[in-house]
C-alpha cells in the first residue's frame, strides 16, 4: 500500500471510531506500530485534527470532514452484494432504505464502476421473511431505538405461552431465523426470543434507562465469559 493510501485509511479508521489505538491501526493496515506513530504524527503536522497520543489512543475532533468518496468497481460490487443478501431478511422499512441508498450510490458512480456493480451475478432468494415477522422486526427495532418497554406474548418451543414485560436490547439474525435479546422483568434476567414465535407485541408508554447489570454490554460480557469458560 502506498503511503498516501495508508494515510487516507488512517484518517478513515480514526474518524469512524470513538477511540482508535495504534495497535488496532497496526493490525488493520499490516504495518508496525512505529509506522503508525510516524504516520499519525505526519497527519497532525499537516493539520488533520487528530487528538490523542501514543499508548492511549486517537480520536478525530468533531467537525472534520473529507471530500466525497468515490467507490472502486470492487467496492461498488460489495455494496450491491450486501444489499441483495440482506434485503429479503430485513424489515420492510430498512429494506426499502437500503435500496434507496444503493440508488444514490449508483447515481454518482462512473460508468464502468456502475456497469460492474449492476452486472454482479450474486443473488439471494427472495423467499425471505413472512409479513408478520417483518412487522414485528420493525416494532422491535423502533422500541430498541426509543428504549421503550414492550409487553410480549410468546409461544416457546415447548408450546407454552407466556406474557411478560421486557426491555428490548438488540435483534440478531441466525440464518433462517431472527431472535431478539431483552431484559425480562418477569424472570429478572436476560432472555432471548424467536421473533417468529412472538404472538403479540404491545408498545408500552414506559421508557427505560440503562441500569447496571441490565444492558446489552452486560449481556455480551456474560456470553463472552461463557465462551471463554467453555
| CA angle (201, 202, 208) in 5-degree steps | 110
Residues 92 and 53 in one domain: no
**Cell numbers 460489495 label which residue?**
78
User: Please, what's the largest Cα pairwise distance for the chain?
Assistant: 65
Residues 48 and 96 in one domain: no
Q: What is the CATH number of the domain that holds 36?
A: 1.10.10.10
Residues 22 and 82 in one domain: no
pLDDT in tens, 53-63: 667 789 988 77
> Would residue 126 count as lying in a domain?
no
pLDDT of residue 208: 96
Q: Is 47 helix (H, G, I), strand (E, B) or coil?
A: coil
Residues 81 and 9 in one domain: no
Residues 141 and 222 in one domain: yes
Integer-rounded Cα radius of gyration of the chain: 22
> Would residue 33 count as lying in a domain?
yes
The grid cell for 132 is: 408478520
pLDDT in tens, 19-51: 899 999 999 999 999 999 999 999 989 888 899
Q: Are 200 and 153 in contact (CB under 8 A)?
A: yes
> Would residue 215 count as lying in a domain?
yes
- Of 17, 36, 60, the domain-final residue: 60
Measured between alpha carbons, how far is 30 from 8 in angstroms, rounded to an integer?
Answer: 15
**Cell numbers 415447548 label which residue?**
158
Measured between alpha carbons, how far is 60 from 11 in angstroms, rounded to an integer?
Answer: 8
pLDDT of residue 65: 65
Give me the domain span that covers residue 155: 131-229
Which of the residues in the chain have pLDDT under 50? Answer: none
pLDDT of residue 54: 65
Domain count, the chain: 3
Q: Report the sign of the C-alpha dihedral through residues 161, 211, 59, 52, in that order.
A: negative
The pTM of this model reads: 0.67
Amino acid at each position: 500500500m502506498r503511503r498516501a493510501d495508508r494515510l487516507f485509511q488512517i484518517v478513515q479508521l480514526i474518524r469512524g471510531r470513538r477511540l482508535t489505538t495504534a495497535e488496532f491501526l497496526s493490525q488493520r493496515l499490516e504495518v508496525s506500530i512505529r509506522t503508525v506513530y510516524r504516520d499519525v504524527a505526519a497527519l497532525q503536522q499537516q493539520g488533520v485534527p487528530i487528538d490523542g497520543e501514543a499508548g492511549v489512543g486517537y480520536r478525530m475532533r468533531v467537525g472534520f470532514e473529507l471530500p466525497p468518496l468515490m467507490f472502486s468497481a470492487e467496492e461498488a460490487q460489495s455494496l450491491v452484494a450486501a444489499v441483495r443478501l440482506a434485503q429479503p431478511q430485513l424489515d420492510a422499512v430498512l429494506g426499502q432504505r437500503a435500496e434507496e441508498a444503493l440508488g444514490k450510490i449508483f447515481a454518482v458512480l462512473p460508468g464502468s464502476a456502475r456497469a460492474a456493480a449492476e452486472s454482479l451475478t450474486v443473488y439471494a432468494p427472495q423467499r425471505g421473511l413472512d409479513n408478520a415477522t417483518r412487522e414485528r422486526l420493525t416494532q422491535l427495532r423502533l422500541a430498541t431505538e426509543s428504549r421503550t418497554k414492550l409487553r410480549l406474548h410468546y409461544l416457546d418451543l415447548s408450546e407454552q405461552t407466556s406474557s411478560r414485560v421486557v426491555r428490548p436490547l438488540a435483534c440478531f439474525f441466525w440464518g433462517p431465523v431472527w431472535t431478539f435479546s431483552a431484559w425480562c422483568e418477569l424472570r429478572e434476567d436476560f432472555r432471548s426470543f424467536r421473533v417468529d414465535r412472538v404472538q403479540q407485541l404491545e408498545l408500552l408508554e414506559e421508557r427505560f434507562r440503562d441500569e447496571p447489570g441490565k444492558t446489552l454490554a452486560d449481556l455480551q460480557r456474560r456470553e463472552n465469559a461463557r465462551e471463554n469458560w467453555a
